[in-house]
């Protein structure tokens, strides 16, 4: 794939962020809303967020030295499940965009995969939150 551990670290962080954000939305749909259709759709998307470089990702990980590891005040400011949903939709869209851009220089097929995931999350966000 790539030998640049800093680029792999960037991929690792954003891949984790993307899957974690999808999981939060999926679990709210599943356990809070009992929405099997939405939870299943999100689970399917989350399973598409896999790339074949697990060991490289682990080797590049340096979470203990992440310069922005401490929680920011805005991350603590959630007053409802809707706030959590919105934050996690944005998290998934932003991280899939980073992956889309980085993979343009490494693997254009993966770039397209993450672009498609980003657009799927835009659509699901609208369907899920437009009636709030």
Domain count for the chain: 1
Residue 77's pLDDT band (cuts 50, 70, 90): confident
Task: Let me know if residue 66 belongs to a domain.
Answer: no
**pLDDT at 76 exceeding the cut of 70:** no
Cβ count near 22 (within 10 Å): 28
Helices (H), the chain: 5-27, 36-47, 54-60, 73-76, 81-103, 108-129
Query: Percent of the chain at pLDDT above 70?
Result: 83
- Rounded to whole angstroms, the Cα distance separating 1 from 110 reads 11
Task: Let me know if residue 70 belongs to a domain.
Answer: no
Task: Let me know if residue 119 belongs to a domain.
Answer: yes
**pLDDT at 67 exceeding the cut of 60:** no
- Average pLDDT for residues 101-123, to the nearest whole number? 96
Is the CA virtual torsion 17, 20, 23, 28 positive or negative? negative
Task: Let me know if residue 68 belongs to a domain.
Answer: no
């Amino acid at each position: 794939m790539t030998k640049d551990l800093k680029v792999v670290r960037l991929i690792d962080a954003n891949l984790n962020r993307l899957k974690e954000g999808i999981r939060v939305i999926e679990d709210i749909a599943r356990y809070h809303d009992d929405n099997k259709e939405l939870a299943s759709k999100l689970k399917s998307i989350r399973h598409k967020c896999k790339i074949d470089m697990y060991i490289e990702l682990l080797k590049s990980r340096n979470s203990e030295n992440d310069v922005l590891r401490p929680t920011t005040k805005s991350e603590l400011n959630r007053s409802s499940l809707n706030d959590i949903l919105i934050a996690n939709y944005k998290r998934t869209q932003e991280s899939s965009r980073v992956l889309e851009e980085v993979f343009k220089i490494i693997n254009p097929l993966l770039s397209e995969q993450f672009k498609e995931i980003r657009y799927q999350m835009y659509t699901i966000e609208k369907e899920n939150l437009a009636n709030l």
